[in-house]
Amino acid sequence: MQKLTFISLIALIIGSFNYASAQELKLNDLEYFEKQGVNILVYNNLFTGGFNDEKTAGIEMIHHGVRTSQGGAVRLSNTPEQWDLVPAIPTRTVNQASNSIESILKYEYYDFESRVVVTAKGKGVEISVYLDKPLPTALEGSAGFNLEFLPSQYWHKTYLMDGRLNRFPRYVVGNTVTRPNEEKLEQFKGFVTYDDRGTGKFVDPLPLETGRSILMAPEDPERLVKITSHDADLMLFDGRMIAQNGWYVVRSLLPAGKTGKVLTWTVEPNAIDGWVREPNIGFSQVGYLPSQPKVAVIELDQKDKPQAKASIYKMDENGKTTEVYSGNIEPWGDYYKYHYVKFDFSSVNIPGIYHIQYGDMKTNNFIIEDNVYDKITDATSDIWIPIHMNHMFVREAYRVWHGEPFKEGYLQAPPNSDHFDLHAQGPTTDTEYEALELIPGLNIGGFFDAGDFDIETGSNISVVQNFVQTWENFKPLRDQTFVSQEQRYVDLHRPDGTPDILQFIEHGTLNLVAQAEIIGHMAQTLSNSVLYNYHHLGDAASLTDGLPYNPDLGPYEVAADGKSSGVKDDMWAFTSRNPSLDLRAATMFAAASRALKGYNDDLSERSLYQSKRLLKEATALLASQPQDESGREWGSLGDISTNLQLYISTGEQQYVDKFQELLWPALDRNVSFVILTALHGIPHMDASYKEQLRPYMVKYKEYVEGLEKDNPYGVPIGLGNWAGSGGVINFGTTISFAHKHFPDIIDADHAFKTTNWLFGCHPYHNYSLVATVGATRPKEVFYGNNRADFSFIPGNVAPGILFRQPDHFENYDDWPFLWGQNEGTIGGNTSYLIFGSAFKDLIK
């Protein structure tokens, strides 16, 4: 029996490699290693130094179209967390002659440098680590070379370490040890990232296996990788043991006391012979109006030969499908890694259920009907937005989304405090409050920013402005949410007789007015004081103990009167003054004062007063401060918007004069940046204003038409570390308002490019980027506060298709933890709300 098992094991291994292509990896012109089915990137994408390890950097592998491995670098822990130290990479040298890439990796804090050389060797690469000086004593036993693998692509699959067979676990299970917390604090430069509950220890996972050679996923030729270490043991760790966003880590420690080439790995990713990526047929999962343009964008592997035609099939009442249209495939061209063709089926206009057939590919079904867009914003307004109401108990039927958070309020952040979410308190508090003093009255209203539970003031300002614009332009009377400020209670799917959007405006304004009145200006953020709480998953009400911190008490001790504790878990207010932020708040307060008039008159009057005050003070402060070009541009936009909103609210001539004085030069500088604000002014100006705006609309039309040549989707595609749904939504909103006022210049058809993109016509896959919105295939995992459940909050809008340098787009739907592609934000989702409202108004 043992002999039979061993023979079967050998057959499995040999059979796995039979899939391999004889093609060797080569350095291409984009400076990464490539063969059909395998791309190996070497520091094309760098660690940020802001959020540090974002799982999007280092040595990365794109394996049969999916980025399955990343983070390859010298690291200082077995399973690095997000805020662990990351190496700076000051140099990267590409040597085409030797088919290699060499980089310096530096840890400034330890004065420690290593050199990593990656060289193509046959079907794989050789990774070598060189040291010019021995490891610092402090890093002996902790510095090692890591390569991380995406769990969702490997769980349930097998691996062999030195021939020993095992399986990658679906859920993290394994053994750990505890170590002195001083070691972790050292590596985190003092950030408290864990709660040791007084033990003085932190948890460190032990390896699942150890050996010199690991074969991963031998049963899956698309994921098969072999790694061999020539100098040191390989260790396999499960990074999810200490962080749900952790990856599987293959690691070798660097030796102490040695220099020169101290470590060598051979990494051989399998490449299926003749592999060609399956076509991605981009179309709207929501469906189409009978009268709208209908164009599928088909993304093809460069080695794939385009079909001549595609077809549309219609389903009858018995479930039988019949071809109703066949049309030519039209070439568009290359865009980054792939080739694109288009299939226009606009002539199909009879209501019904359809699918697209392209070669052997059959899409899921979609609908053609007059009502397909009627409910595109309902989940966002009915569910996602109220769930993110801070300082409220939120219930949905049997489910409690969260209790009332942060009853203890917010403490003044101490001067010179850096923050792990890229905030900082300056040398003074800029308030009347002392460091760690309770600032009373801030624990009211406001919205969680995103997948975390802080109040980002800038985002909340945008949110209220979005709500007001939606209310004033479209007057949505939808009422599906019970909101009681007195009870601090929200109940979903329970009408209370008041339009939900008015209650959302009130809720956001309550917190922002409190900041202006109590602090004297706008806070940067109301956020966590310790990182351990910041990455909290679960009920927001359990993030803190609900009691203010009392330094006179011992750790975790509660005062005799039950009103304070020794737990350092309080939320802090970061209050360094930013006049540009004050200016944006002035814009929002002016708008909110109008919307709240007649509903909450007291809050309306307070908002208008703060708008005027902040405008006056912020303008004076900005005039006295130096501004870079970007700051001037954003400051100008804020000033333009504030004066417009104050003019609409008060009718005073001084504001309209200032608005026009600033607007036209700004349009001359960047028409697409300012044009939406200019359009919002049309209903409040005379006819000459609109005519003066006309040539700028012609210029904007040129920009819109230029997008058709820029990419096959005809929308502004973002190429940064945060995917571009926000820019596409803003584009659609601008088109909707532009067509309303200038239908002879801006064609309404351009607005459908945004819905197409959001609902499935985009690179990488064709899933709808809006949770639960889409006929049969919306995305099913998002980066929300329930991300550890691999779930979503209905109505969430994903940032979408993330670009990885130099030519790869991606959006994981089996791994929620990359916020740049999967995290919906309160600002982005309320921008979607105004777009959806404007779009539905347009098509009517």
Q: Indicate where the chain has its CATH 2.70.98 domain(s).
A: 2-174+207-269
| Cβ-contact 378, 770 below 8 angstroms | no
Q: Is the peptide bond between 806 and the residue preceding it cis, with omega within 30 degrees of 0? A: yes
Q: Indicate where the chain has its CATH 2.60.40.10 domain(s).
A: 280-368
- Taking the C-alpha atoms of residue 406 and residue 384, their distance in angstroms, rounded to an integer, is 20
Query: Residue-wise over 772-791: b if at least 16 C-beta within 10 A, else e?
Result: bbbbebbbebbbbbbbeeee
pLDDT at position 190, please? 45
- Taking the C-alpha atoms of residue 102 and residue 252, their distance in angstroms, rounded to an integer, is 19
Strands 295-300 and 248-253: what pairing? Answer: unpaired
What are the residue ranges in the chain where pLDDT is below 50? 1-7, 10, 14, 190-192
DSSP state, residue 138: G
Which pTM value belongs to this model?
Answer: 0.94
Q: CB count, 10 Å around CB of 695? A: 12
C-alpha angle 568/570/574, rounded to 5°?
A: 120
Sheet with 571-574, edge to edge strand ranges: 438-439, 410-412, 571-574, 525-528, 455-456
In the residue annotation, 686 being an active-site residue is answered as no
Fold of 2-174+207-269: Beta-galactosidase; Chain A, domain 5 (2.70.98)
- Which residue out of 53, 238, 491, 823 is catalytically annotated? 823
- Taking the C-alpha atoms of residue 57 and residue 570, their distance in angstroms, rounded to an integer, is 33
C-alpha angle 416/419/423, rounded to 5°?
A: 85
Neighbouring-strand partners of residue 202: 179
Query: Residue-wise over 19-51: b if at least 16 C-beta within 10 A, else e?
Result: bbbeeebebeeebbbbbbbbbbbbbbbbbeeeb
pLDDT at position 41, please? 98
- Taking the C-alpha atoms of residue 563 and residue 546, their distance in angstroms, rounded to an integer, is 9
Q: Which pair of structure tokens corresponds to residue 589? A: 């307060």
Side-chain-side CA neighbours of 562 within 13 Å: the count stands at: 0
Amino acid at 402: H
pLDDT at position 193, please? 53
For 459: left if phi > 0, alpha if psi spans -120 to 50, otherwise beta; the answer is alpha
CA distances from 662 to 459, 635, 643, 656 (A): 24, 11, 10, 10
- Which residue out of 517, 605, 814, 841 is catalytically annotated? 814
CA distances from 43 to 56, 57, 265, 656 (A): 10, 7, 17, 51
CA distances from 509 to 296, 431, 462, 468, 646 (A): 42, 21, 11, 11, 16
pLDDT at position 12, please? 53
pLDDT at position 50, please? 75
pLDDT at position 338, please? 98
In the residue annotation, 814 being an active-site residue is answered as yes
Neighbouring-strand partners of residue 215: 160, 226
Percent helix, strand, coil in the chain, to 5, is 30, 25, 45
- Taking the C-alpha atoms of residue 65 and residue 804, their distance in angstroms, rounded to an integer, is 13
| Cβ-contact 534, 421 below 8 angstroms | yes
- Taking the C-alpha atoms of residue 421 and residue 454, their distance in angstroms, rounded to an integer, is 10
| Cβ-contact 303, 775 below 8 angstroms | no
- Taking the C-alpha atoms of residue 430 and residue 146, their distance in angstroms, rounded to an integer, is 44
pLDDT at position 201, please? 72
pLDDT at position 186, please? 57
**Which residues touch 765 (CB under 8 Å, ≥6 apart)?**
280, 811, 813
673 by DSSP, 3-state: which?
A: helix
| Cβ-contact 679, 738 below 8 angstroms | yes
pLDDT digits (tens, 9 = 90+) for 641-660: 889 999 999 999 999 999 99
Architecture of domain 280-368: Sandwich (2.60)
| Cβ-contact 548, 411 below 8 angstroms | yes
For 446: left if phi > 0, alpha if psi spans -120 to 50, otherwise beta; the answer is left
User: Would you say how long the chain is, in residues?
Assistant: 844
- Residue 676's H or E segment, with its range, is helix 671-680
Amino acid at 36: Q
| Cβ-contact 396, 807 below 8 angstroms | no
**Which residues touch 751 (CB under 8 Å, ≥6 apart)?**
732, 735, 736, 739, 839, 842
pLDDT at position 420, please? 83
- Taking the C-alpha atoms of residue 812 and residue 606, their distance in angstroms, rounded to an integer, is 45
